Structure 1
Amino acid sequence: MERAEKPPTQTVDRALTVLGFFSATAPELSSAEIGARLGLHQTTAYRLLTTMEQSGYVERDPRTGLYRLGLKLVELAGLKLNQMDLCRHAQPELNALRDALSLNANLAVLDQGDVCHLAYAVRADVPHTYTLLGRKSVAHCTALGKAMLAFRPRTQVHDTIHTFGWRPYTEHSIQDFATLDLALDEVAARGYALDL
C-alpha cells in the first residue's frame, strides 16, 4: 500500500518561504516584515529567524538588525554548481568561445520563465556587467533569454508566459505576444540577440 503524500512540516515550509522572500530588490528584511509576510506574530518570526541564523541560512546585521541570506546557502549553491555536469563540461567551451570571439560568454538555463545564470567566461579587456551565478532574470527581458526562447516552439513560450506572467523590468519591456513573436523571429533570423 502506498503512503499518502504528507503536507510539508509547517516550520520547514515557513523557513523555505522566508528564504524566498529575499531578492535582489529586497536583500535585507526585518523580523517584523518577515512576520507580516508569513502572517505570524513578530515573536514567532524572530524565533524562526534565530533558528535559521544558528544554522547559517540567514544572518543578522548587528548594526541594523536586518536579516539577509547566510553563507550556508553559498556553500550549498557551490555544491550544486559543482555537481552539474553541464557546468563542468561547458566551462572549457565557454572559454574557447570567449577567446575565439574576443567577447564574454555566458551559460544559463531556462527555469520557470526565467534564465538562471550558471557559468561565464569573461575577458579582462572587454567591459562586462557583473553576473551573479544563480541569478535569475525574466527570459523575454534579456538577450540571453530571447536567444533561448527564439528556438523553442512558440506555443511553449506563450504557455510559459501565461503561467509566470510578463513581469516587465522597464516601460520598454515586451508585454504582448505580437511584439514578442516579432522580436524572437528577428533573433532567430539574425542568430543572436541584443540587450538594448
Structure 2
Amino acid sequence: MAADGANQGLDRAASVLEAITRRGPSRVADIVTETGLSQSTVSRLLTALERLEYVVRDPDAGTYRLGLIFLAMAGSALNEQSVFRHARQPGQQLAAALGLGVNVAIRRGNELYYLCNFEGTLAPKNFTLMGQRSPLHSTALGKCLLAELSGPERRELLPDLEPFTVRTIVDHEALDDAVTAVDRSGYATEREELALGRSCVAAPIRDSGGLIVAAISISGPLSALDLSSRELEIAQRAIEVADSISTGMGYLGPRSSSQLPQRN
C-alpha cells in the first residue's frame, strides 16, 4: 500500500509539472483545471515542489513557473544523447551560414521532440523549441522520422491525422506519398502544414546500423526560405549536414549487393 501511495504521489507531482510545462506560468486554479486534481492537493504539491526548487512562485502574479534546476537536468539529459552531441555544432554552423532556423529532432512515440534549436538572422524567435514536442504528420522533420516505419505501422501510430491548417495532410494515402518521397529524394518539405506563414525542409539522420534515428531541418518564414525557387538548394544543404552527422554516428552509407553478407 505504501508503494502504491508513493507512486500516486509521484504521478500527481509529475502531472503538476507537466501542466506548468504546457501552460507556462500558472495559478493554482489553472493547474486544478489542467490536472483534475483538487485545489488542496495542488497547493500541497506546489509547496513541496517549491521547497525542492522544482517550481518558483511569483508573489505578485500569484503564478508558479518551472525552476532553474531543470536547466541542469536538461543539460545532463541532452549530453547523454548521441544525436545531440554530433548534431549541435553542425546545426549551429548551418543556421549561421544560412541565416535560417535549424532544428534537430527525434521521435518519441507519436510525437517528435526537439533536441536542438538554432536561430538565424532571417528567422528569429523569442523562445526556444528545445524540449518541445510537435506532431509528426504535419512537419518535415516528422515525415523523415516516419520514413523508418511501414504504412501499417504509421496508421497504427497515428490513427487520426489532426488538421492544424488548411494545408495539413489529413489522410494516410497523402502521408504515404510524402513519406515515400523521403526515400526517393532524401528530404521532406512542409509548407504551412503546422503554422501559416512558415515552411521547412528536413533530411533524415541515421545511426551506425542505417536506421533513421533523428532528422535535421532548415526552417523559417515562407519569404525567407522561398521554396518555389530555392527548394533544391536548401534541401541539398540539409542533406549534406544530415549525412555529415550520420557519418559521425558511424553510418557508412548503404552497402552494395556485393558488400552484403552472402548465404552459404
Residues in 1 aligned to 2:77 and 2:40: alpha-carbon distance in whole angstroms: 34
- Pick one of 20, 35, 42 that aligns with 1:22: 20
Deviation at 1:99, TM superposition (A): 7.7
What is the TM-score normalised by the length of structure 2?
0.60
Q: SS of the counterpart of 1:140?
A: coil
Residues in 1 aligned to 2:37 and 2:84: alpha-carbon distance in whole angstroms: 40
When residues 49 and 174 of structure 1 are mapped into structure 2, their CA distance, relative to the original with a 3 A threshold, is same
Question: Residue type matched to 1:170 in 2?
Answer: T
Q: If each structure's strand is expressed as a fraction of its own residues, which one has the higher value?
A: 2
* 1:174 alignment counterpart: 169
* 1:127 alignment counterpart: 123
* 1:49 alignment counterpart: 46
Deviation at 1:53, TM superposition (A): 1.4
When residues 32 and 179 of structure 1 are mapped into structure 2, their CA distance, relative to the original with a 3 A threshold, is same
Residues in 2 aligned to 1:98 and 1:155: alpha-carbon distance in whole angstroms: 36
- Pick one of 184, 187, 191 that aligns with 1:192: 187
Question: Residue type matched to 1:65 in 2?
Answer: G
Worse-superposed segment, 172-181 or 88-97? 88-97
1:152 aligns with 2:149: yes
Q: What's the Cα RMSD here?
A: 2.8
Structure 2: which 5+ runs fail to align?
192-264
- Tell whether the 8 Å contact from 1:109 to 1:117 is kept in structure 2 after alignment: yes
* 1:63 alignment counterpart: 60
Larger relative contact order, structure 1 or 2 (CA cutoff 8 Å, min sep 6): 2
* 2:10 alignment counterpart: 12
Question: Residue type matched to 2:140 in 1?
Answer: A
When residues 28 and 97 of structure 1 are mapped into structure 2, their CA distance, relative to the original with a 3 A threshold, is closer
When residues 92 and 189 of structure 1 are mapped into structure 2, their CA distance, relative to the original with a 3 A threshold, is same
- Tell whether the 8 Å contact from 1:117 to 1:135 is kept in structure 2 after alignment: yes
Question: Residue type matched to 1:50 in 2?
Answer: T
- Tell whether the 8 Å contact from 1:106 to 1:121 is kept in structure 2 after alignment: yes
Identity of matched residues, %: 35
* 2:114 alignment counterpart: 117
Residues in 2 aligned to 1:33 and 1:174: alpha-carbon distance in whole angstroms: 33
Deviation at 1:116, TM superposition (A): 0.9
How many residue pairs match? The answer is: 187
Residues in 1 aligned to 2:35 and 2:128: alpha-carbon distance in whole angstroms: 30
Question: Residue type matched to 1:47 in 2?
Answer: R
Q: SS of the counterpart of 2:143?
A: helix
Q: SS of the counterpart of 2:188?
A: coil
Q: Trace 1:98-109 onto structure 2 (pairs within 5 A).
A: 105-109=102-106
What is the TM-score normalised by the length of structure 1?
0.78
- Pick one of 35, 59, 79 that aligns with 1:82: 79
